[in-house]
Amino acid sequence: MKNFRPKLPGFLTGMKILLFNMFKTLSPLSPNPNVNYPFEKEIVAPRARGVIALDQEACTSCMLCARQCPDWCIYIEGHKELQPPAKPGGRQRSRAVLDRFDIDYALCMYCGICVEVCPFDALFWTPEYEYSEYNMGDMLHDKSRLDEWLDTVPEVEGLES
Amino acid sequence: MIDGSQVLVTAGIVLAFALNGAVIFTILDVKGASWMQRRPGPLHVGLRGFIFPLAEIIKFFQKEDITPTNVDSAVFKWAPAYVLASVFGLFVVVPISPTLVGSDLDLGVFYLLAISSLSTLGVLTAGWSSANKYSLMGGIRAAGQLIAYELPLILAVVGVVIQAETMSLVGIVEKQIEFGLPFVLSGQGLAFLIFMIAATAEMMRVPFDMPIGESELVSGFLTEYSGVRFLIFYIAEYMNMFILCAVASTLFLGGYHVPLLPAEWVNFYGPVALLTKTVLLGFILVLVRWSFPRFREDQLQNLAWKILIPLSLLNILITSIMKVVF
């Protein structure tokens, strides 16, 4: 009985928390946790998984991402072009050219497997998040749009291995 | 004594009072709830969001009023009117000062309880006529709940009536002024508690919102209603909340009376005092709403029949003994 401290019954504790919350919300002294979204923007964590950006030059249209995608929301088309030989008399090299790289963000579930699996570091996470559309069909963003987002990829040091 | 124009003026005042009460309680409910959850609440409709009920009313008016094909059309269309009429009826007898009262009936409390049980009819017919299983379930649950909680409500008020020796609401307030203490502090604390619990059940608010439990019945007896008719139910709910809080503050908290203020000016400070007490009680209801989970159907009925009714009978017993002894 030494450490006996009278406790509020549970249902009053709930009410007490609500009351304290209300006074916190109404008092100008306590910090406001809300972001008035369309007028103020949230500061997103740099590693936030907002959207997937594509580096077109790095992509070899190897289709690994499209195969690994659980939702099959990546559409890739490409063709091969013959390139002039590097030195005279050499063999003509072929090079993969990316024709189409679309991600259907209406289907994407942001698992990030495509980013993980890409062997050429062509896909990146960026914290950009304002790309919603009024129409479901418009959520299919093509490679030029994905390439624009490459600029928003934050510079972060690599994970220690 | 009563001529036509007086009736019209009284009806107009009651109407304005009722609608303003509903608007005040909508604001209190929504804003209070959001403040308790660390949110600013509605913010974009004028005056930092404080006139959003007007926008909401306009929104409901421009929505389509759908009557499904298989419903019992006449009953379906008139059910909201029952609820609204029963709630309006309650406003008539609540005094906002000794003279500012719609009609100071001698049987005021009796009239109040009789009229308030009329809304059960509206809710039950709304559920029955909707031709929808969810509506029917909700309507029957609502009827069961309203009947179950009508009893503790009445029995709690009986204690007050015994102590005040009158059924007129003005008389009850005058008795409290004469006594010097509101009834909640002078013997009717238990009755006040029972009254508030039963009143919360009567207005079908959380934790007693089993009839419109949205996770199992889509929206209970409101499922098929839309547009203006839904708005009528919605407004009636908030008016009911307002008027039951006003009745509770009249019966238990001294109504329009404020101690230490001169009694001649009661017409000026009376309405403000009553409104303040009402809003305080409403605030407690909002607190309760956001801190309790919903009662299950059997728990809800058990609470009424096994706890509240015996307690209120006990309260009547104690009150009558005290009345005889002193």
Name the residue among A14, A25, A36 with its Cβ closest to that of B35: A25
Side-chain half-sphere CA neighbours of B82 within 13 A? 17
pLDDT tier for residue B310 given thresholds of 50, 70 and 90: very high
Q: What gap in Å lies between CA B232 and CA A154, rounded to an integer? A: 54
Kindly report the pTM of this predicted structure: 0.80
Are the Cβ atoms of B40 and A14 closer than 8 angstroms?
no
Contact yes or no for B198/B308 (Cβ under 8 A): yes
Q: For residue A1, what pLDDT is reported? A: 63
- CA separation (Å) from B225 to B31, B57, B67, B140? 25, 15, 8, 17
Mutate to test the interface with B, among A11, A12, A15, A26 (most CBs of B within 10 A): A15
User: Nearest chain B Cα to A13, which residue?
Assistant: B291
Are the Cβ atoms of B36 and A19 closer than 8 angstroms?
yes
Contacts of B287 in chain A (CB under 8 A): 15, 18-19
Smallest Cα–Cα separation from A35: which of B38, B149, B165? B38
User: Nearest chain A Cα to B43, which residue?
Assistant: A36
What percent of chain B is predicted at pLDDT more than 90? 3
A86-141 per-position pLDDT tens digit: 888 888 888 888 888 999 988 989 898 998 898 888 888 888 888 888 988 888 88
B105-133 per-position pLDDT tens digit: 888 888 888 888 888 888 888 888 888 88
Does B216 have pLDDT greater than 60?
yes
- CA separation (Å) from B294 to B23, B213, B289, B303? 25, 8, 9, 13
Does B1 have pLDDT greater than 60?
no
DSSP letter string, B27-89:
HHHHHHHHHHTT---S-SSSGGGTTHHHHHHHHHHTS-----TTS-HHHHHHHHHHHHHHHHH
Residue B42 touches partner A, C-beta closer than 8 Å: no
Residue B40, judged by CB atoms within 10 A of its CB (0-12, 13-18, 19+), counts as: middle
Residue range B289-298: mean pLDDT, rounded? 86
Smallest Cα–Cα separation from B56: which of B14, B20, B27, B35? B27
Phi first, then psi: give them for residue A103, nearest 5 degrees.
-120, 125
Smallest Cα–Cα separation from A46: which of A127, A100, A115, A117? A127
Name the residue among B38, B40, B292 with its Cβ closest to that of A21: B38
Q: How many CB pairs under 8 A join A and B?
A: 35
B156-174 per-position pLDDT tens digit: 888 888 888 888 888 888 8
Residue B291 touches partner A, C-beta closer than 8 Å: yes
Residue B268 touches partner A, C-beta closer than 8 Å: no
Q: For residue B256, what pLDDT is reported? A: 81
The rounded mean pLDDT for chain B is: 85
Does B76 have pLDDT greater than 60?
yes
A16-26 per-position pLDDT tens digit: 888 898 888 88
